[in-house]
Chains A and B, each alone.
Chain A
Amino acid sequence: MFEVETGLIFWTVISFLILLVLLYKVVFPPIAKVLDQRRQAIEGGLEKAKQAQAEGEGLLAKYHQQMLEAEKKTREILDDAQRKSQFLRDETLRSAQKEAIHILENTKKDIENYKRRSMESLKEEIVAMVVEVSSRLIQKELKAADHIKLIEASIKELDKSVKRQV
């Protein structure tokens, strides 16, 4: 049934060894070389990827930094604008209040002046009316003899001026 043929085993082993030697000497070196190149290429790629990743991370960090700075600057600008706006608003308000007070004072003065002028005008009109009425009454009431007396009085008054001159 099962018989061990030592000769066949022998030659098989020999063939196998020869094949192994052949493989080891002829086939394996180029394959190993290719594999080594491949490994080196992959390692190079990995290295480059690592470098790129490091560069990317650096850039990202820089970007973050820039973003933070930009944010800080923006906040500063906004704060400054807000301060300026507040100052401007306060200033405008103060100026408007001042102007309003000024207008109010001027209006008060105008009203006072107008009142004073009106009073003066009224006073003038009343006095003019009194003088006019008095004149008419005098003209109506005075007789020739009264006029002569008035002329005498006027001369006496002029005489007093002479005495004052002396």
Chain B
Amino acid sequence: MSRGRFELNIEQIFNDAKKTGVLEKLEDELYSFASLIDSHYDFKLFIEDPRVAATYKKKMLKKLCPPGISNDFVNLIEMLIDNGREELVAPLSSGITKRLFKEAGVLFGEARTAVPVPLELQQQLNKTMAALEKRPVKLRYHVEEKMLGGLVVNFINGEVWDASLKHKLNELKDLVLN
């Protein structure tokens, strides 16, 4: 593993994935993997530790990957591991998502809730958010057990729709104080 000169060409990765028709799948897989690294500090330490052999990391990656994962995803991650630039998973995922948003006009976002959201409510929320944003949206659902209740939607363009209980309590607090 060496940390030589390495440049992440998101545009090329995007175009290659688009040609092979796995763009959306790759974007989804990269997002899931980036979220996994972000939410599991131990795993982040393991994957970004330069002392751990690349072969071992790749072996563990294959073990972790569920069946049906795209080869493009595996190749991309292996390329980052080989170049010792595993910390670039998050920027790569974010870059591909933004590029896809620019290309397809779909607004990507993350909905955070305290418990998993039933499919029916997910569809309802997608519809509502699309109406609010006046464009197609793609929401990813993330469970945050520390959340008090309600939901928060963060879009990649920086917009935030906060309908959480904490936000309501804060509004109440402001109302009382002012």
Rounded to whole Å, the gap between the CB of A155 and the closest CB of chain B is 5
Rounded to whole Å, the gap between the CB of B135 and the closest CB of chain A is 13
A residues near B104, Cβ cutoff 8 Å: none
Chain B: CB-nearest residue to A126: B176
A residues near B118, Cβ cutoff 8 Å: 148
* Residues of B contacting A: mostly: helix
- Which residues of A (117-150) have their CB < 8 Å from a CB of B? 120, 123-124, 127-128, 131, 134-135, 138-139, 142, 144, 146-148, 150
Among A131, A154, A158, which residue has its beta carbon within 8 angstroms of that of B169? A131
B residues near A150, Cβ cutoff 8 Å: 149-150, 165
Cβ of B83 under 8 Å from chain A: no
Known: A128-B173, A135-B166. A158 touches B128 (CB 8 A): yes
Cβ of A67 under 8 Å from chain B: no
B residues near A144, Cβ cutoff 8 Å: 115
A residues near B169, Cβ cutoff 8 Å: 131, 134-135
* Residues of A contacting B: mostly: helix
Chain A: CB-nearest residue to B164: A154
Residues of B in contact with A, size category: 20 to 34
Rounded to whole Å, the gap between the CB of A121 and the closest CB of chain B is 11
Known: A128-B173, A154-B151. A138 touches B165 (CB 8 A): yes
Cβ of B170 under 8 Å from chain A: yes
Distance of A123 Cα from B128 Cα, bound (Å): 38
In the assembled complex, 22 residue pairs joining A and B whose CB atoms fall closer than 8 Å, in A order, are A120-B177, A131-B172, A135-B166, A138-B148, A138-B149, A139-B148, A147-B113, A147-B114, A147-B115, A148-B118, A151-B113, A151-B121, A152-B121, A154-B151, A155-B121, A155-B124, A155-B163, A157-B163, A158-B128, A158-B163, A161-B132, A165-B132
Query: 19 other contacts beyond A131-B172, A151-B151, A155-B124, with CB at 8 A cut-off?
Result: A123-B176, A123-B177, A127-B173, A131-B169, A135-B166, A138-B165, A146-B149, A147-B114, A150-B150, A151-B117, A151-B121, A151-B150, A152-B121, A154-B150, A154-B164, A158-B129, A158-B163, A159-B128, A162-B131
